[in-house]
Structure 1
Amino acid sequence: MARRAQPLGLALPAGLAAAGAMLGLSLGTLAAVAWRAEGASTLGPADWAAVRFTLTQALLSAALSVTLAVPVARALARRRFPGRGLLITLLGAPFLLPVIVAVLGLLAVFGRSGLISQALAPLGLGPIDIYGLRGVVLAHVFFNLPLATRLILQGWLAIPAERFRLAASLGFTAHDVARRLEWPMLRSVLPGAFLVIFLICMTSFAVALTLGGGPRATTVELAIYQAFRFEFDLGRAALLALIQFALCAGAAALAFAVAVPGGFGAGLDRPLARWDAGGVWLRVLDGMWIALAALFLLVPLAMIVARGLAGVTDLPPSVWQAAGRSLAVALGSAALTLALALPIALAAVRLGGPRGAALQAAGLMAIAASPLVMGTGLFILLFPLADPVALALPLTALVNAAMSLPFALRALTPAMAEAEAGFGRLADSLGLRGAVRLRLVLLPRLRRPIGFTLGLSAALSMGDLGVIALFADPGQATLPLQLYRLMAAYRMEAAAGAALLLLALSLGLFWIFDRGGRVNAQA
C-alpha cells in the first residue's frame, strides 16, 4: 500500500458509510434482537451442548480440511501434468456448490443407499450412517478441502524458485527441503487457512439442518434458528449469537497471534523446478494424493448430475418459479456486494496504515456474525414501518451480500492497492479525481477481481438456505428452500432434478461473471 498522502475526495465518506452499514448489520441487528427480547434469558443444558458440538465439529472440520490439504497442495505444487490447471479449477467447484445440493451428492456416495454402502453389502457389512457429527464433519471437509488446498498451494508457489535451486546445489533431500523451506511457509499459511475454515464451520446452518441428526448434533446457528422459528425466544437467540460472535472473534485473535511471516523474500520469477521430488516413491505418493482428492470431491458432483438428469424434465412449476426468485436474489446480492466492497476497499487503500486496516475489519466482521440474527434484527427494525414477510427476498439478498463481503474485500483490496501504487502518482499529476479516476484508472485494472467478486457472491447467494428459511411464506420460496421441501416430502427424484438445476445455475453464474471479468482485462 502506497505510503503517501492520497486524495480522499468522496472515497472516505462512501467507505465509512459502507463500513457503518456492515457494523449495523453485524452488531446493530444483534442489539435490536437483544433489545426486543422480553427480559433476560439463560442458556439451558441443550444450549451448552450446542456450543460444545459447534466447537467440536468446527475444530475437527478445520483440522481435517487443513491436514488433508497439505499433501494435496504439496503434490500439485511439485508436479506438472496435462490437465493440471483444469483439475485445480474443478477442485474449487465444491466451495461454490450450494450446500443442499452437496448434501444430496454426499448421500448418493456415503449414504445408507449410496455407492459405498452398496459396495459393502456383499461383504455383510451394514450401511453407512452419515448423520450426526460424522456427517457434519464430512460435509464441511468436502466444502473446505478445496479452499484449504488453494490457500496452501498459493503459499507453496510463493516460495521463490531460487530457494529450491539453492537447496538442490546443497544436496538437500526431500526431508531437508520440508524442514528448511516448506515448514516455515506452512507456519505462516496454515493459521490463516485454519481460521477461515473454522469461522465458516462455526456459522454453518444448512449442513447441520440436513445432516445434524437430532439434539446431539445441533450447532449454535441451528439452535438460534430453533429459538426464532419454534419458540420465539429472542433473548436466548441473542445470547447464543453473542456467544458465537465471541468465539469467532477469539479464534481470529488467536490465529493472528500464532501466525509468523515466512521470510523468503522476493525471487526472480524463474520457472519452478523441484530436484528434490524426482524419486519414484514420491511420484507415486503425490499421484495417490491427487487421485484420492479428485475422487472425494468429483464423484459426488458426478452423482448429482447422473441422478438429476432423470428428474430435471419433470420438475413441478413451483421449482421453476423458485429458480426465478433465486436468480433475482443472487443478482441483487452480487450488485450489493460490489456496491459495499468497492468504497470500503478504495477508502482503506487511500487511508492506509491502522485506519485503513480498521475500515477493512468492519467489512470483514460479517464472517463472525450470525446471518439468522441479521435477518431477524432487520425484521424487528422494519416491522413498525412495513410488512417484513413481504420484504423477505430483498432482505435475504442484503444479508447474503453481507456474508459475501469478506471474500470480496480479500479479492479487491490487494488489487486496488496495486493499481494505486502503480498509477496513483500519474493520476494525481493529471488531476484525475473521483468518478473519473475510478473509471479511467482503477476499474480497468480491477476487472478480474470484480468479475470474481460478482461471480462468487452470486453463486453463494444462489445456494443459500439461511434467512429465507425463517421468514418466507410458501409463495416466496427460493430454489434451495424448495429443494429442501422436496427432500422433506421424500420426493427424491424431483429433488435430484432441482439439485441439478441449482448446480447449473450457481456454477453458470460464477462462470459468466468470472469470464466476463477476464475478457480484455488489463490486469
Structure 2
Amino acid sequence: MTHVAGGAFGLVAILAFILAAVAALLTIGSGQGFASLVADPVILPALRFTLLQAGLSTLLSLLFGIPVALALARQRQFPGRIWLIRLMAVPMGLPVLIGALGLIGIWGRTGLVSTLLFGIGADEPLSIYGLSGILLAHVFFNMPLAARLLLAGLERVPAEYWMLSAELGMGRSATFRFVEWPVIARLLPGVAGLVFMLCATSFTLVLVLGGGPAATTLEVAIYQALRFDFDPARAVSLAVLQIGVTGALLAVISLLPAADEAIAGSERPVRRFDAGSGLVRLQDGLLILAAALFLGLPLMSILVSGLRADLFDLLIEPSFLSAAVTSLSIAGSAALLSTGLALLLVRAIIALRVRGSGLAFRLLSGSLSAAGSLVLLVPAIVLATGWFLILRPLGEISRFAPAIVIAINALMALPFVLRILTPAVEDHRRISGRLVASLGISGFVKLWRIDLPVLARPLAMAVSFAMALSLGDMGAVALFGAEDVTTLPWLIYSRLGSYRTNDADGLALILGVICLALTMLGTAGAKRSREAVAHV
C-alpha cells in the first residue's frame, strides 16, 4: 500500500502544478472570445506558420529519412555503417541551440556552403534565417529520428522474406512494393505524428532562426508577448491555443500505429540479396555518404569553431562560472526530481497490477500511466506562462525562477525517464519479487541489497539523460531568465545576440562536451549491471 500512496502523491503533485498554470491562463483569458482571436494581428499568423513549418518539416524529414533507412537496411556490410547509425543518435541528444550554431557554421552567410558558392561565382550567400532555416534545422534533428525508427522496423523483417523475394526473382521495385513498403507504411503514420509534434512545439530553433514576425510560431509568440510587449492577454490567448493544438496532435497520434510496431522477425541472420549489384551499392553508398555529411559537418563545425575560441578565458570567466553552476544545479535538481517522480509512478502501477483488476485499480493505474504523457499536452513555455502570471503579483519573479524552472524541466524529462525506468523496474520485479517476498526482505535492506545493484544502471541513465535534457533547455529560462538566473544556453544565446559569435561557439563546445560526458556516464557500468541481474 505504501507504493500506491507514493504514486498517488506523485500524481497529485504533477496535476497540481500543471492545473495551476492552466487555471491561471483560463482565468485571465476567460473574457476573450473567438472574435478577439481572429482580430489579433499576431495570433492567427503564428498559428498558420506553426502548422505550415511543422507540416513541411515532417514531409522533408520523411522524404529524406525513408531513402536513408532503406539504404542502411540494404547495405548491412557498408564500412562504418554502425558509426553512422550512432551519429544519427547525436542530434536527438544534442542541445538544440548547439545544433543551430553548427548549422549556421555550415549553411550561414559566412558558412562553408556560402563560401563554396562564392567560389563558383554566386552573387548572394545563403540565408539560413526564416522558413528555410527552420526547415533545414528541423530536418537535421528529425530526419535521423525518422530514419532510425524506420530502420528498426526494416531490420525486424524475417530473413525468409528476403530469401523468398530472391527466389521469386523480384527486382528492386518489386521488393520495395511487396516487402519494404508494407513495413514502412505501417510505421509511417506514427513516425510522422511524432515528428510533427516535435516540430509544432519547437521553441529554441524558431527563436534563433526565425528571422522576424513572419516566421514566428505560437511558442515564440508567447515569449515575445510577455518579455517584449508585456501583453498578458495576448500571451494567454496564444497559450490556450497552443494547448488546443498539442491536445489535438496528441489525440491524433494516439489513434496512429505506434512508431515501434513491426513484423516479428526470426532469429536467423538476414542476408539482403538485392544489395549486391554494383549500381545499387554505389547509389546506396552515395546516399549514406550524403547523410553522413549532412549530419557530420555541423557537428564538425561546432568542434572547429569552438576550438578557435579562447576556451581557457571562457572557463575562468565569472559569467561562465555562474551560468555553469546555475545550469548544473538546475539540471541536477530537475533530474533527481524527475527520477523520483518516475519511481513513485512506476512502483505504484506495478503494485496496482499485482493487487487486482477491479475498476478502481484500473482507473488509478490508468491515471498513473497517463501522468507521464500529460506533460506533453502542456509545453514548457505554456507552463512557464501560467506560473509567470501566478507569481507576478507576488513581486520579483526572478526569486521564484529557479524552483519553477526545475519543476518544469523535471516534468519535461518525465516521459523519457519513465521510458527508461519502467521496463527495468518491471523486469526486476518479475525476476526477484517472489523470492524477496518469501524471504521477508523489505525496507532499507531490500533497497540496498536487492534493488540498487540491479537498478543502478537504468537509474544512472535516467538521471544523466534528464540532466542533459535540462542543460540544453531554454524554454522556461527564456521567460523567467534574469541576470540572477542565467543558464549556459541563455548565456550562449545572449552572446549571439551581442554578435560575440566566437564566444558563443566556445561556450557551445563546452556545453556539448558536458552533455556528451553525461551521456557516457549514464551508459557506463553495463557489465556490472548484468552481473547484478545474474546474481539476483
CA offset at residue 280 of structure 1?
2.0
* Structure 1 residue 13 displacement after superposition: 2.4
Cα distance change of structure 1 residues 334 and 232 upon mapping to structure 2, 3 Å threshold: same
Q: Structure 2: which 5+ runs fail to align?
A: none
Query: Which residue, 98, 102, 109 being the options, matches 2:99?
Result: 102
Matches within 5 A, 1:474-513: 474-513=483-522
Corresponding residue for residue 307 of structure 2: 309
Aligned pairs for 1:350-369 (under 5 A) are 350-351=351-352, 355=363, 356-369=365-378
Match for residue 324 of structure 1? 325
Q: Distance in 2 between matches of 1:461 and 1:30?
A: 22
Q: What does residue 25 of structure 2 align with?
A: 33
The range that moved more, 171-180 or 295-304, is 171-180
Q: State the distance in 2 between where 1:224 and 1:68 align.
A: 32
Contact 1:329 1:393 in 2 (8 A): yes
Structure with more contact order per residue of length (Cα contacts < 8 Å, sep ≥ 6): 1
Does residue 455 in structure 1 map to residue 468 in structure 2? no
Q: Whole-Å Cα distance in 1 between the matches of residues 236 and 78 of structure 2? A: 52
Q: 2:419 aligns with which of 410, 415, 433?
A: 410
Relative to structure 1, the CA distance from residue 334 to residue 519 in structure 2 (aligned partners, 3 Å threshold; closer, same or farther) is farther
Contact 1:98 1:503 in 2 (8 A): yes
1:12 corresponds in structure 2 to: 4
Q: Counterpart amino acid of 2:399?
A: A
Q: Secondary structure at the match of 1:45?
A: coil
Correspondence for 2:142: 144
Relative distance call for 1:495 and 1:484 in structure 2 (3 A) is same
Matched, 1:111 2:108: yes
Asked whether the equivalents of residues 323 and 479 of structure 1 are also in contact (C-alpha less than 8 Å), the reply is: yes
Indicate whether 1:64 and 2:73 are aligned: no
Structure 1 residue 343, shift from structure 2 partner: 2.1
The 1:257–1:287 alpha-carbon spacing in structure 2 relative to 1, beyond 3 Å, is same
Partner of 2:211: 213
Contact 1:34 1:235 in 2 (8 A): no
Partner secondary structure for residue 270 of structure 2: coil
CA shift digits 1:141-189 (9 cap, x unpaired): 1112222222222222332334434444444444343333322322332
Shift of 1:17: 2.5
Following superposition of structure 1 onto structure 2, how do residues 112-131 of structure 1 map, counting pairs within 5 Å? 112-125=109-122, 126-131=124-129
Q: Output one character per residue of 1:42-66: Cα deviation in whole Å (capped at 9) or x when no partner.
A: 3213210000100111111122223
Indicate the larger mover: 170-179 or 295-304: 170-179
- Corresponding residue for 1:334? 335
CA-CA distance at 1:137 after TM superposition: 1.3
Quote the offset at 1:120 in angstroms. 0.7
Distance 1:21 1:50 in 2: 32
Does the CA-based 8 Å contact 2:105-2:112 persist in structure 1?
yes
Q: How do residues 245-260 of structure 1 correspond to structure 2 at under 5 angstroms? A: 245-259=243-257
Is this contact kept in 1: 2:495–2:504, CA < 8 A? yes
Say yes or no: does 1:21 pair with 2:13: yes
C-alpha change, 1:449 and 1:262, in structure 2 (3 Å) is closer
Distance in 2, Cα, partners of 1:415 & 1:481 = 35
> Aligned partners of 1:384 and 1:160: how far apart in 2?
62
CA deviations on 1:258-294 (whole Å, 9 max, x unpaired) are 4289986644423222223222222122212221111
Q: CA deviation at 1:444?
A: 4.5
What does the per-residue CA deviation read over 1:51-83, in whole Å, with 9 as the maximum and x for residues that have no partner?
A: 010011111112222332222222223323444
Structure 1: how far apart are the matches of 2:456 and 2:57?
Answer: 34
Contact 2:338 2:414 in 1 (8 A): yes
In the superposition, the TM-score normalised over structure 1's length comes to 0.90
> What is the aligned residue count?
515
Whether 1:76 aligns to 2:75 is no
User: Which residue type is aligned with residue 92 of structure 1?
Assistant: A
Offset of 1:338 from its aligned partner? 0.9
Residues 244 and 172 (structure 1), Cα distance of their counterparts in 2 relative to 1, 3 Å cut:
same
Q: Given the superposition, is the C-alpha separation of residues 249 and 181 from structure 1 closer, same or farther in structure 2, using an over 3 Å criterion?
A: farther
- Would you say the 8 A contact 1:110–1:116 is kept in 2? yes
Please report how far the alpha carbon of residue 246 of structure 1 lies from its aligned counterpart in structure 2 after TM superposition: 2.0
Q: Among the aligned pairs, what percent are the same residue?
A: 41
SS in 2 for 1:334: helix
Structure 2 counterpart of 1:92: 89
TM score, norm. by length of structure 2: 0.88
Bigger CA drift: 433-442 or 127-136?
Answer: 433-442
* Deviation sequence 1:361-387 (CA, Å, 0-9, x none): 221122231212212333444567785
1:477-522 deviation line (CA, Å, top 9, x unaligned): 1111111111111112111111111111122222212224665445
- Give, as a single letter, the amino acid of the residue that structure 2 aligns with 1:94: P
Matched residues in 2 for 1:389 and 1:286: separation? 53
Residues 444-478 of structure 1: CA deviation (Å, up to 9, x unaligned) = 44444433322221112111111112222213211
Please say which of residues 11-20 and 420-429 is displaced more in the overlay.
420-429
Take 1:179 and 1:349, find their aligned partners in 2: how far apart are those partners?
43
Q: Distance in 2 between matches of 1:170 and 1:432?
A: 60
Distance 1:25 1:258, change over 3 A: same
Further displaced range: 39-48 or 103-112: 39-48
Q: CA deviation at 1:321?
A: 2.1
Give distance in 2, aligned partners of 1:127 and 1:329: 40
Residue 377 of structure 1, aligned match among 386, 410, 414: 386
Pair 19,277 (structure 1): closer, same or farther in 2 beyond 3 Å: farther
Q: How does 1:258-277 map to 2 (within 5 A)?
A: 258-259=256-257, 266-277=264-275
Correspondence for 1:4: none
2:42 aligned counterpart, secondary structure? helix
- 1:437 deviates by 5.7
How far apart are residue 119 of structure 1 and its match?
Answer: 0.7
CA contact (8 A) 2:26 2:240 kept: no
